[in-house]
Homo-oligomer: A and B are copies of this chain.
Amino acid sequence: MPRRVAKPRSRPKDLKEACVVAAHAVIAEKGVDGLSLRDVARRLGVSHQAPYRHYESRDHLLAEVIRRGLERFAEHLEARPRHPDPEKDMGALGEAYLRYARDNPLEYRLLFGMRWPDVARNPELLANAIKAFDILRQTLGRLPQANHRSSDQLNLDALFVWSVMHGQSTLLQTNAFENLNLPGTVVSKAAAHILGRIGDALGGHS
């Protein structure tokens, strides 16, 4: 029998939890395609079969990693500084979104930068995604000038706002705005300008 590569100090008491932590480490090192239950087991110093007690497959573990990420993401958005003025609250939500993406680049990519494992087989993942999306829908729904005629309209505007926030977050992460020889003042004003344009769009002809 081959020796264990790294012997942990002690067996994890909560294996279900430990698998999630180990999965994060594997993904950080090898990327999401490198994640396997075998690798997670090796890292935890448990038998190859042990993780299967809690996760049916590698995709179920990945779904749990994403689900928890969405939970933290939603908590982060809810913890934004609150403003009674709905427009200011919308701005604070946008800033909180950008901050999360900037401070958690790996997790952000897991949540929104790749296809998820089959959501039909992971209903809790779907539930957490909808919960995070609801924060945006509720904030949008409180805007007086949005004047949403229907729930479809509100959903469509939420997808618009999400597209802007996601595009900006990912372009900022890749330094794309800095690869265009733009004046420094433009790059430094971009985030505030883009948030302002969201407000213009929603205040416009709805």
Is A49 among interface residues, defined by CB-CB distance under 8 A? no
Rounded to whole angstroms, the CA-CA distance of A152 and B190 in the bound complex is: 10
Contacts A119-B179, A167-B166, A171-B112 given; does A193 touch B133 at CB 8 Å:
no
Tell me the minimal C-beta distance from A72 to chain B in angstroms: 18
Is A163 among interface residues, defined by CB-CB distance under 8 A? yes
Contact A200 B194 (CB under 8 A): no
Is A174 among interface residues, defined by CB-CB distance under 8 A? yes
Contacts A167-B165, A203-B204, A204-B201 given; does A152 touch B115 at CB 8 Å:
no
Kindly report which residue of chain B lies nearest to residue A205, judged by CB atoms: B200
Rounded to whole angstroms, the CA-CA distance of A152 and B176 in the bound complex is: 17
Contacts of A197 in B (CB 8 A): 157, 160, 201-202, 204
Tell me the minimal C-beta distance from A147 to chain B in angstroms: 12
Is A155 among interface residues, defined by CB-CB distance under 8 A? yes
Rounded to whole angstroms, the CA-CA distance of A135 and B96 in the bound complex is: 32
When the two chains form the complex, which single residue of B156, B170, B179 contacts A170, counting CB atoms closer than 8 Å? B170
Contact B193 A177 (CB under 8 A): no
Contacts of A189 in B (CB 8 A): 152, 156
Rounded to whole angstroms, the CA-CA distance of A2 and B80 in the bound complex is: 60
Contacts A160-B193, A201-B197, A203-B205 given; does A116 touch B179 at CB 8 Å:
yes
Rounded to whole angstroms, the CA-CA distance of A176 and B170 in the bound complex is: 15
